[in-house]
Structure 1
Amino acid sequence: MGSAQAATLNVGPHQTYKTPSDAARVVKAGDTVKIKPGTYYNCAVWTKNNITIEGAGPGVVLTDTTCEGKAIFVVHANDVTVNNITFQRAVVPDGNGAGIRAEGVNLTLNNDKFLHNQDGILAADSPKSSIIIRNSDFVHNGVCLRACAHGIYVGHIALLKIEHSRFYDTQQGHHIKSRAARTVLIDNNIEDGPNGTASYEVDIPNGGALVMIGNVLEKGPKNQNHTTAVMIGEEGVTQPTPELLFKDNTFTNDGPPTDFVRNITATPAQLINNTFKGNAIIPLVGAGSVVH
């Protein structure tokens, strides 16, 4: 006998399921949840594998409500895709309220927005997991209360890959903090702007491979850590670091003198054809080479 056909669950004020959480309670593996445009003061916990959750048009906003004291979407499931949804104002008492809390294996995001959350995305340790983010915006996320929250913060996963996305006006925390075995950043804008108070643009605290190609980065005048844009290994190098490549990036310093890359690992960093603008910048501190 063949398996049951996957279903599409429609969410909206005039649909079978009024809120995303209504659909989350009945969705089955393989299904697609389509959310009609509108603002939903709602959160959802997703436990079924291999599902897609997507906005059915522009203007799908989930705001101001969190589940399990964690996030607007808490994803316990594996192989989940989230498309075309805005997550905003996730706030919880411990300071780690996230647009999405990723606790399963493999999460893919396309064309999503994370606005004014404590964490944009917070991902638990999951050594076999990959998180792929494309064409998404992270604006005015981050805070430091009991601990620091960030634009994105992933624990020990296999891969974090971010492409064609924007990080802007992050507050206090880092734009991107990754403990992944491999972090790949391609063609992103990672900028403080005039009012951003972020610490590092990219933080790789335990080592791990890092590839950054074609990104535009800017450290602003209100940045709370003027020492470095990209930091590698400052919390202890506890995992293999086979590759550190920085190619064709543009970095502008609008604040006090700073380093572009500070490498505390023993792996030589390769800086190739990067462009530096603005105030004083040291391209590389630590092992490695700089080629223009």
Structure 2
Amino acid sequence: MFAVTLALIAATLPAPQGRTLTVGPGAQYATPQAAADAARPGDTVEIAPGTYGNGLTVKRGGITFRGNGNVTIKPKLTINANDLTFENLTFQGSDRFGAYADGRSNLTFRNFGVSGSQDGGLVLLNTSNVLIDGCEIKGTNARGTKADHEAMTIADGSRDVDVKNCHVHDNGEEGIDVKYTENARVKIHDNIVRNNRGPNIYVDSATHVEVYNNISSGTKNETKSGIALAVEDWSDTRLLDNVKVYNNISYGNAQAGLSIWVQSSGTVSNVQIINNTFYGNKKGSISFDGDEYAGANILRNNIFERQTGHEAFKADHNFVGEPGPRTIDAGSAEDAPAFDIEGNPRPRGKAHDIGAHER
């Protein structure tokens, strides 16, 4: 009876609060790694402004790592646990990846940075339930085309990943890359992705991916578009399916605004390209390379710089030329997004506008 009473009392008590472990000059710990080694689930590691060496390897889950100001950790982050949050931290100068997780879950990266890594920047493999909000990734893939993975890689079974409000720029390979995952349920939105070797945003042999409300510009290699959908030979499934690309602006890229291609064999199916604006791209709005299409593919409500189409795509309500009065209320509501690139509801007038903006 006494043991049962104690159990009932314990059940009514509030859960114990985690500790706060401080890092910095005069703090409890001199380095983030020392604090990580001492932290337990529920703890928060607060890091004072400054630059810290020895990197950070996290082996225990349920911990929040938070920078209080400008915090740089050299050279890299290695994630070997689940249920982790990283806020206001930048990792710099890795000779491999800037931040790496394989087979993990429930990760949050907020106001998170990677710069100057030799290979990929933020690399997630077989990792699920991830929020990436407000990151900056720059100067990665310093090895160039020999680099392993991309500025941001979401690959090999990574699912349920939300990438938003990020600035991914001036990297030596692709910007944001989703690849080799069926039923990925990945959303890439409200990002600025620019001046990468390219493509800036890449979906390769993945299914169930949404790319929307992004600005993509300035790819540097003449074969790389602003946004690309592809099936490469590295894929086991050789399938890209159920991909939606809408409310994006893609301009000033070295190849097309958007490209679709199959390396040697594979299938592209059920692709919707709706309410995007393309202009100033050296090889036009959309480049189609490969004829292995299936399903219902759509081109609708887009602004093109020149006439664009393909027999595998149903094309309607597109406009060729500069945005202007003729694009207002001239679109179709069928399969159109409920909002525009700025989050304004569609339609605002008599009908949906053509292009990324609803005026």
Task: Give the structure-1-normalised TM-score.
Answer: 0.84
Report what 2:47 is aligned to. 35
Q: CA deviation at 1:158?
A: 1.5
SS at match of 1:174: coil
Alignment partner, residue 69 of structure 1: none
Cα distance in 2 between the residues matched to 1:168 and 1:147: 16
Quickly say closer, same or farther: Cα 1:240–1:266, change in 2 above 3 A: closer
How many angstroms apart in 1 are the aligned matches of 2:200 and 2:137? 13
Q: Which has the higher strand share?
A: 1
Aligned residue number for residue 162 of structure 2: 161
Equivalent residue, structure 2, for 1:101: 100
Q: Which structure 1 residue ranges, 5 or more long, are not aligned?
A: 66-71, 92-96
Q: How far 1:123 moved relative to its partner?
A: 1.8
Distance in 1, matches of 2:272 and 2:97, equals 34
Aligned to 1:68: none
**Partner Cα separation in structure 2 for residue 290 and residue 123 of structure 1:** 31
Structure 2 counterpart of 1:215? 214
Structure 1 99/28 Cα, relative in aligned 2: closer, same or farther at 3 Å?
Answer: same
| TM-score normalized by the length of structure 2 | 0.69
Partners of 1:59 and 1:191 in 2: CA distance: 24
**In 2, Cα distance between the equivalents of 1:161 and 1:247?**
16
* Residue 240 of structure 1: how far off its partner (Å): 7.5
User: Residues of 2 paired with 1:130 and 1:223: CA distance?
Assistant: 33
2:327 corresponds to: none
- In the TM superposition, 1:215-234 aligns within 5 A as 215-220=214-219, 222-223=220-221, 225-226=223-224, 229-234=227-232
Q: Match for 1:291 among 292, 296, 300?
A: 300
Q: Which residue of 2 aligns with 1:271?
A: 273
Say which structure, 1 or 2, has more relative contact order (CA 8 Å, 6+ apart).
1
Q: In the superposition, relative to structure 1, how do residues 224 and 153 fare at CA in structure 2: closer, same or farther (>3 Å)?
A: farther
**1:123-162 equivalence runs, <5 A:** 123-126=124-127, 129-142=128-141, 143-144=143-144, 147-155=147-155, 156-162=157-163
Q: How far apart are 1:125 and its partner, in Å?
A: 2.1
One-letter amino acid of the counterpart of residue 59, structure 1: N
SS in 1 for 2:34: helix
Q: 1:19 aligns with which of 10, 23, 31?
A: 31
Distance 1:218 1:12 in 2: 39
Segment of structure 1 superposing worse, 43-52 or 75-84: 43-52
Q: CA 1:214/1:146 → structure 2, altered by over 3 Å: closer, same or farther?
A: closer
**8 Å Cα contact 1:228/1:260 also seen in 2:** yes
Q: Percent same amino acid at aligned positions?
A: 24
Q: Which letter does structure 2 place at the counterpart of 1:62? A: I
Q: CA deviation at 1:284?
A: 5.7
Q: 1:135 to 1:228 in 2, by over 3 A?
A: closer
- Per-residue CA deviation, residues 201-257 of structure 1 (Å, 9 max, x unaligned), is 22322222121111000143x3263367313322336287652111110001342x4
Paired position in structure 2 for 1:262: 260
8 A Cα contact 1:253 1:281, kept in partner: no
The match for 2:82 is: 78
Q: CA RMSD in A?
A: 2.3
Give the secondary structure class of the aligned counterpart of 2:81.
coil
Larger Rg: 2
Match of 1:115 in 2: 115
Q: CA deviation at 1:43?
A: 1.0
- Residues in 2 aligned to 1:159 and 1:239: alpha-carbon distance in whole angstroms: 21
